[in-house]
Structure 1
Amino acid sequence: MTKFVSLYSAGKRWLSDALGASEDLLHVHAGLMIFVAAALLFRHRMRSRVPIALVYFFAIGNEIMDFFGPSPSTGRLEPWLDIFNTVFWPTVLFIIARRRARAGDVNRTA
Structure 2
Amino acid sequence: MLNRTDEDAQLAVDVFFTDRPPVTVEGLVCGAGRVRHFRLDDPLDMEGFEIPVGTDYGIVVRASAAVSLQYTRVDTRSTALTLMTTAGQPVAALDACAVPKFAHRLQPGASQDP
Q: What TM-score results when the alignment is normalised by the length of structure 1?
A: 0.22
Q: Point out the structure with max Rg over C-alpha.
A: 1
After TM superposition, the score normalised by the length of structure 2 is 0.22
More helix by share: 1
- Relative to total residues, which structure has the larger strand share, 1 or 2? 2
